[in-house]
Amino acid sequence: MTDGCRRRILLGASLWLAACSDMNKPSGSLLADRYPCDQGIGNDPDVVWHEDFEASSVAAITARYDDYKNAGSMALVADKPSKSCGAASIRLTAGGSTASADDATDLYKKLLKPDGSGFDELYVRWYVKYQAGAPWHHTGVWLGGYNPPSNWPNPQAGIRPVGDDRVSFGLEPVWGASPNLRFDFYNYWMKMHTCSSCGGAYWGNALVSRNAFTVEDDWWACFEVHANLNTDMGSAAGAELEVWKNDVLVQRFPETGAIGYWVQDHYCPAGADGSQCNFSPTVPGPLDIQFRSSAALQLNHIWLQNYITDPSAGTVWFDDVVVAKTRIGCLR
């Protein structure tokens, strides 16, 4: 949320609704408006990380990151979003006949201030294109935090965070199959849910559950996620989570108006129509977005990954990644 919106909140709810409730629409307050085609955006004081994949080699790209895997399955290619002014994107391929439990092609970057601390609030915007018919497992962008900060990704799949150790917000294909591939969050936090058949394990929770939230095969799409960690360590107060596709707001938490419900480990906000929401609710809403119990846990990394354990390989393309302290917006 911008400082301007915070000031308006002090003036009353009606003024806040008029000024801030439609922030998915482009305006002069977005970074993309001030930096057409992202030219110069990396120099803005609100920008924490900028990656356009403009380099002479894959080695020059991987040198910018704290950890990476399978550089041999990465390539810089001329394919790019239509509004990009760059010459290249990065192509990540994973899976195939040699697929194994650690078959990941990824890039991991710590996001730290000069004093070594992280951030309580961040936005991340990226462009992505998915190959048609690929057997996606975990392929997308994750924004999160470890306490203490980690030099490599450590998702600890199946284990619920305790509140002072880690939090992650992933956005990736999680439902259906090509050409009806649906997107959703795949999040880990201290108040996440499990399912009756999960044997005590906690797997990343999906929170949007909308059939229309899709990613088109072989087509560049723009996504943006906003995560604001709770300011009260004993509740969800101050926390926010939002996602946009192509500058259109898809989902915002905390929910306004009607609230949703849980079906096992899937959350179904008001208006959700995914098949996972056709079953009887198991826990009422609203979604508890207390993301942490200690202020020492902050957002401090981004992880671009293609992780496939399947005999068939899959390829994803990424471009024009921006992490910032304010709303970014898609390329202008």
In 147-279 the beta strands, taken as DSSP E runs, fall at 166-175, 182-188, 221-228, 240-245, 248-253, 261-263, 266-268
Burial class (CB in 10 A: 0-12, 13-18, 19+), 73: buried
Reply yes or no: is the peptide bond before residue 284 cis, omega within 30 of 0.
no
State residue 10's pLDDT score.
31
- Could you say which residues of the chain have pLDDT below 50? 1-27, 101
The H or E element that residue 131 is part of is none
State the CATH class of domain 34-324. Answer: mainly beta
> Under a CB-based contact definition with an 8 Å cutoff, are residues 279 and 257 in contact?
no
Query: Cα-atom radius of gyration of the chain, to the nearest Å?
Result: 19
**Do residues 75 and 306 lie in contact, with contact meaning Cβ atoms separated by under 8 Å?**
no
pLDDT at 181: 85
Q: What is the pLDDT of residue 87?
A: 97
pLDDT score for 169: 98
In this structure, are residues 209 and 184 in contact, taking their beta carbons and an 8 Å threshold?
Answer: yes
**Looking up tokens 């926010």, which residue turns up?**
240
Q: pTM of the entire structure?
A: 0.90
